[in-house]
Amino acid sequence: MADIGNPKSTMEIISKYNFNFKKDFGQNFLIDGNVLSRIVECAEVTGDDTVIEIGPGIGSMTQYLCRAAKHVIAIEIDKTLIPILEETLGEYDNIQIINEDVLKVDLKAIAEEYNGGRPVKVVANLPYYITTPIIMGLFEKDVPIDSITVMVQKEVADRMQVGPGTKDYGALSLAVQFYSKPHIVLNVSPECFVPKPKVGSAVIRMDKYDEPPIKAQDSKFMFKVIRAAFNQRRKTLVNALKNSAELSLDKESIESAIRELGLSPTVRGEALTLEEFARLSDILYKE
């Protein structure tokens, strides 16, 4: 099969199957061969790898992945794309297409079944409307992962890798940086997709830590503290944590924990590093 990821082949496939793009599924297909090969290169996919692809679309990136990997498992929610994928990827025998919602499927069981529980690589041009739940699910549900290389909205990629004191810093930055080492590997213009998205895009690679370098006694509790701090990010940290129903902490214990950390009583959550959040949550956890 010739390359799918160019304007001519993509339009031919779309008209052959009378396919209608579904905005609700975040369907923006890549039509730039350079971008597609760069993504697979940046993910460093080798013949030893099992790759999970989220949202294969008509198979533009899947094709590159099938050529590079040992095994590819592609999870696609849109059932009208399944017969198309069966044809476009017909020549590959290392592909498994699963017609499911990625947010409902048990990815840990998939890694177990197809890779004996060894770490997989996740590579995808993500549906942007569910970027955060997908990334959080991959990290929090104990899926054995080596790295995640994904196209996301540029603004979200920036949020994932920034540190304290910037407007983009928030719960997503802290979660991504707790579980992995992120770096943006490519910026991609709307021209490289059909239909063109209204926003700029970027590919970010997250190398998952075997053991998070920052330790917290209870990471679930730490993320409750982090969420509370950023749910009311204009308030002081003391007030944001005090107002959180999820935490039910009293003002005195929060103030005393913040003092113990050597921080100002009027500090805001956006000024704290991941390490400071870990220490703060350890102190509050004891209480």
Query: Which residues bind to ligand SAM, rule: CB under 6 A?
Result: 25-30, 54-57, 60-61, 75-78, 101-103, 125, 127, 130
What is the rounded distance in angstroms from the CA atom of residue 39 to the CA atom of residue 181? 17
Dihedral sign, Cα of residue 274, residue 278, residue 281, residue 283:
negative
Q: Fill in the DSSP letter of residue 196.
A: P
* Residue 73 phi, psi (nearest 5): -115, 115
Q: Which is nearer to ligand SAM, 124 or 160 (CB)?
A: 124
Nearer to ligand SAM, 84 or 226 (CB): 84
Q: Please report how close the Cβ of residue 160 comes to ligand SAM at its closest, in angstroms.
A: 17
Minimum Å gap between C-beta 259 and ligand SAM is 45
Min separation Cβ 69 and ligand SAM, Å: 15
| Residue (35 or 240) nearer to ligand SAM, CB | 35
Nearer to ligand SAM, 32 or 276 (CB): 32
The span from the CA of 158 to the CA of 173, in Å, is 9
Strand stretches in the chain, DSSP E = 29-30, 50-54, 71-75, 95-98, 120-125, 145-153, 180-188, 193-194, 201-208
Between residues 145 and 238, which has the closer beta carbon with respect to ligand SAM? 145
Shortest distance, position 251 Cβ to ligand SAM, whole Å: 41
H or E stretch at 112 = helix 107-115
Closest contact distance (angstroms) between CB of 109 and ligand SAM is 16
Write out the H or E segment, with its range, that includes residue 255: helix 251-260
Chain residue at closest Cβ approach to ligand SAM:
55
